[in-house]
Structure 1
């Protein structure tokens, strides 16, 4: 885990820790100790403490025994609820995009999808996650609703590390690209109902993939150990 110093240290520490959690370098249940982090990074404890508070407020960390902090895991119930909320919100975004999106905006989204397809084979999950995120963010922008984009960003931040799971299997990678292509086509066809239905189905399929992964690994909050 590395930090740079051209921004406030608390922001650099926050970004480095958040990235480590999202990419799986820090797994659910791992302890995060302020003094150890400060020593490893060669900085004072204050920016580390501020970064940890922000990560805890956002749900990436949770209280453990005593005053310790642990990398949080979502319970199956939280995954279920969060993905269902995401499905509803992204469904609305897709519907609005099909109704409102300008041709140049649709062309930009298609460019993202084309780039995703050319980098499918051999790419690391982190790179694929980046393209997947760009597509969904681009679609949300096409909705033309700033408030909807803010709501979706909060949801995406919460489940980002779990979205990575859906891209780790080659078959899954091809499936989500095909689904993205179908969603884009519905938007191009100006078919709001189809665009909404397809993305809701897409998100709920991802939910099932994540739930199956958590079940297989026992990666739930109730099973965390200090």
Structure 2
């Protein structure tokens, strides 16, 4: 099987309570964002349909949505070509994400209880232990749990939804960066600074 098709098939989850069009779109999107379909790759709609035994309609729907997201492009007389996420894209998304994260953290700071702060402290202590054990995958999950905790405590569901949508684009870059020991230690130190600023109700420092 074509390795590109195999990568998409791996991310095609039929257990979800979604339409086939949505599942195919999700699979293509995830595969492209994770970099498993290299930029410049041409997507052959018919080949995907034949190999995956799926009609061309949901595949065409997925590709049209990906064109609108600028993850792929339609080139006349050539077809659909993968663009992927560039470093420039990542910087732009990170800048947006930073502003939204700061807003979520500041809102959470004002609403969190002493018990919430104790829970967040315990979460960071767990992250330190996991990092010391060099359990990289668990550290990555711990970082995600840290962010998710702040989003939940901000009590801003729409903001949370927007941030999580952006986060999808950044998973690949984050995982590459955080696998560096130095970057993991820096991130942990930053999380502790965020916690201290929140405990002291220092909005400027938190920003």
Is TM more than 0.5 here? yes
1:153 paired to 2:164: yes
Aligned to 2:44: 33
5 Å-filtered alignment, 1:111-150, equals 111-120=122-131, 121-124=134-137, 128-150=139-161
Structure 2 equivalent of residue 68 of structure 1: 80
Q: Counterparts of 1:48-197 in structure 2 under 5 Å? A: 48-64=59-75, 66-74=78-86, 76=88, 78-120=89-131, 121-124=134-137, 128-196=139-207
Q: For residue 220 of structure 1, what is the aligned residue in structure 2?
A: none
Q: Distance in 1 between matches of 2:39 and 2:106?
A: 35
Deviation of 1:115 (Å)? 4.1
Q: Check whether the contact 2:102–2:206 (CA below 8 A) recurs between aligned residues.
A: yes
Q: Residues 12 and 81 of structure 1: is their aligned pair in 2 closer, same or farther, counting only changes over 3 Å?
A: closer
TM-score (norm 1): 0.69
* Whole-angstrom CA distance in 1 between matches of 2:26 and 2:198: 34
Following TM superposition, by how much is the alpha carbon of 1:139 offset from its aligned partner in structure 2, in angstroms? 1.5
Which one has the largest radius of gyration?
2
Quick one: structure 1 residues 187 and 9, their matched pair in 2 at CA, closer, same or farther if it must change by over 3 Å? same
**1:170 and 1:63, CA in 2 relative to 1: closer, same or farther beyond 3 A?**
farther
SS in 2 for 1:68: strand
Bigger RCO (CA 8 Å, 6+ sep) = 1
Taking structure 1 as reference, are residues 52 and 133 closer, same or farther at Cα in structure 2, changes over 3 Å only? farther
Gaps of 5+ in 2: 1-6
8 Å Cα contact 1:93-1:139 kept in structure 2: yes
1:139-190 CA distances to partner (integer Å, 9 max, x unpaired)? Answer: 2222222333233234323333322332131221222122112212322333
- Structure 1's unaligned 5+ residue stretches are 197-226
